Amino acid sequence: MAYNFSEIKKFTTWRRLWLWLAKAQQTLGLDISDEQIKEMETNIENIDFDMANQEEKKRRHDVMAHVYTFAHYCPKAAPIIHLGATSCYVGDNTDLIVMKDALNILLPKLARCIQRLSVFADEYKSLPTLGYTHYQPAQLTTVGKRACLWVSDLCMDLRNLCRVRDDLKFRGVKGTTGTQASFLALFEGNPEKVDVLDRLVTEMAGFKSAYLVTGQTYSRKVDFDVLAALASLGGSVHKLCTDIRLLANLKEVEEPFEKDQIGSSAMPYKRNPMRCERCCSLARHLMCLIQDPLHTLSVQWFERTLDDSANRRICLPEAFLTADILLNTLQNVSEGLVVYPKVIEKHIRQELPFMATENIIMAMVKAGGNRQECHEQIRVLSHQSGAKVKEGGENDLVERIRKSPFFSPVKHQLEKLLDPTTFTGKSSDQVTRFLEEEVKPSLKPFAHWLDEIAELQL
């Protein structure tokens, strides 16, 4: 990703765009020789950055600085470099190429995160765990079912990123205000040749189509659309990693922790969820970046104003670079999650008796009891047990029910009524169906990239 947003990638792409333009113009009959084309091809990567920097200091125009630098090393082609084009021909088209390439870098990484978490979900699809609403114990779910909530969000992000990639079009050859007037003049008023020129350059750049209407730039709403998808990904990762951080506090699930890793300089016993904390930190930055393209879009006057430029040079690379390391770190986390079933079981035992009260009441009614009387008996015993728990004791509601003569008709059923696996509903089936019907098809296009392991220098 760093290379994708590097100076060398940017300026070699500019030169390729000038080459593609010249080739298309030659094809359509302009007086451009094979020798000129060959000279440009030979010097695509021969960039004299010192000369370009000196030219930019003198001319205060980055595109013209590189036109002069390219022309210096291509003296025969100098008269036809940038012919009929405006700065946005190289600037905007390069941005679109770079964003498309960046999305193609991110998508396999996101697919790997989904695949790793899907394996985790399948492995633990039947392991009961406390569900939480309002961060208070609620009905049981399973460890795998909870992981599917994370996977479901990431699958939405995968679809979003695929959509924005596939929606990207090329700016093409549109001239200074998008009217193509300069190219119409080059081809002596022949509109068909202008259309073919636009199509040829678009195809050489690897795009299926170009925007039919632009100002001097492509609409900055495109940037917003792309960064909105990245910000949404940030939100998904933040939620997922926050859940893992909370589970680490409960000692139920932990991120990878190396043998010699130190959690705290002062407290040697600590096992801080450092990777997930880093993900949350990066995700917040990624989510905040959506403001830049939104404001830039809103203040582009008429066909274009240049106050978009400096802002875009910061926010677009930052968004993709942040998303890239975010997914690298998330993959590392998802490849090494550790589950502690005994701790989970202990927490279930503390809460399950309260959750089972309705089942116990139903069993009593089936045995001939009165529902309201059963409810009152359970209420009194539950409050007594709850008070003991709040004083630091264990939940002894089950023992209180066993000892109560009132509940003698169902004492032999208590073990079955308190089996955690009977409280998880269709969790296991939901996991199996979700992975089979939604996740596997979404990962199929990325099958060749799923085996790569995330190695981090943390």
The catalytic site residues sit at: 134, 264
Side-chain-side CA neighbours of 147 within 13 Å: the count stands at 31
Sole residue written with tokens 């299926």: 208
217 within 8 A of 185, measured Cβ to Cβ: no
Residue in 128, 127, 168, 120 with CA at minimum distance from that of residue 439: 120
Q: Confirm if 81 and 64 have CB atoms less than 8 A apart.
A: no
Phi, psi of 385 (to 5 degrees): -70, -40
Residues 6+ apart with CB under 8 A from 451: none
| Distance separating alpha carbons of residues 174 and 196, to the nearest angstrom | 12
Distance CA 234, CA 362 (A): 45
| Beta-carbon contacts of residue 15 (< 8 Å; ≥ 6 apart) | 40, 43, 44, 47, 66, 70
Q: If residue 137 lies in a helix (H) or strand (E), which one and from where to where?
A: strand 136-142
- Whether residue 386 contacts residue 137, with contact meaning beta carbons closer than 8 Å, is answered with no
Alpha-carbon distance of 244 to 252, in angstroms, equals: 9
CA nearest neighbour of 191 among 202, 181, 203? 181
CA 186 to chain centre: 44
Query: Rounded CA gap, 411 and 409, in Å?
Result: 6
Backbone φ and ψ for 253, nearest 5 degrees, come out as -140, 140
Residue 343 CB neighbours (<10 A): 15
d(CA 411, CA 22): 88
